[in-house]
Homo-oligomer: A and B are copies of this chain.
Amino acid sequence: MRKRIFQGRVLSLDVYKVSLAGRKVTREVIEHPGAAAMLAIEDGKLLLVKQHRFPHGFVLEIPAGTMKRGEKPQKCALRELREETGYAAKKMIPLVKYYPSIGYNTEIIHCFVASGIKKVSGLELDEDEIISVVKIDFKKVLRMILSGKITDSKTICAVLTYAMKKKIHV
C-alpha cells in the first residue's frame, strides 16, 4: 500500500506498507526521475563544474542533471554537458550507472564518457543555477578524490571507473 506524502518539482516522497519476511513493515521511499552525468576530457584535463548546491555550498563535480520527463539518459548527459560547459561531443559511451542511496531512493545516475569534445557555445544555465567551468588534469582529480577533496558520488564513481578501465594510476 502506497501513500504519496509529497510531490515536488524534483522529487516525490511515498510511504509504503509492505510485507517482508511475513512482517508488515513501513518504507519511506524517495521517487526521483533519475539523472545523467558526462565525463569529458580535453588534452588530459577533465571538464568540471563548480556549482552552488544548497545546502552544501560550492561543489566540484562533473556536468550532470536530472532527466526530463521521457528523456533518455544519453540525451540528458549531452544536454547537461552543453548547458553547463558549452561543449558538444562527437561520441559517447556508457561508463557506469548506480543507485546513490539504494535503501530509500529510486534515483539512478547514468554516467557516460564523451570523446571528440569541442567548445561550441556559452553556458545555458537554468535561472537558479550558479556554475563556472573548471578544467583540471585528470590525475590531479584522481588525487583530489583519494585525499577527500572531491565528495560528490557521481564524480567519484565516474572518475574511478574510468581510471580503472583505462589503467590510469596515481
Interface residues of A (CB under 8 A from B): 5-6, 8-11, 13, 15-16, 18, 20-21, 23, 25-30, 32, 52-56, 59, 61, 66, 96-108, 127-128, 130, 142, 145-146, 148, 151-153, 156-157, 160-161, 163-165, 167, 169-170
**Residues in B neighbouring A100, C-beta threshold 8 A:** 100-101, 105, 153
Q: Once bound together, how far apart are the Cα atoms of A98 and B158, in whole Å?
A: 13
Q: Once bound together, how far apart are the Cα atoms of A163 and B156, in whole Å?
A: 13
Whether B101 lies near A153 (C-beta < 8 A) is yes
Copies in the complex: 2
Q: Which 6 A-B pairs have the closest CB atoms?
A: A100-B100, A160-B160, A25-B128, A8-B28, A100-B101, A100-B153
Given A56-B99, A128-B20, are A164 and B151 also a contact pair (CB < 8 Å)? no
**Residues in B neighbouring A53, C-beta threshold 8 A:** 102-103
Residue of B nearest to A14 (CB): B55
**Residues in B neighbouring A127, C-beta threshold 8 A:** 23, 25
**Residues in B neighbouring A28, C-beta threshold 8 A:** 8-11
**Residues in B neighbouring A8, C-beta threshold 8 A:** 15, 28
Given A142-B164, A153-B100, are A130 and B21 also a contact pair (CB < 8 Å)? yes
Whether A98 lies near B153 (C-beta < 8 A) is yes
Whether B5 lies near A6 (C-beta < 8 A) is yes
**Residues in B neighbouring A13, C-beta threshold 8 A:** 5-6, 13
Whether B52 lies near A20 (C-beta < 8 A) is yes
Whether A156 lies near B96 (C-beta < 8 A) is yes
Q: Once bound together, how far apart are the Cα atoms of A105 and B20, in whole Å?
A: 27
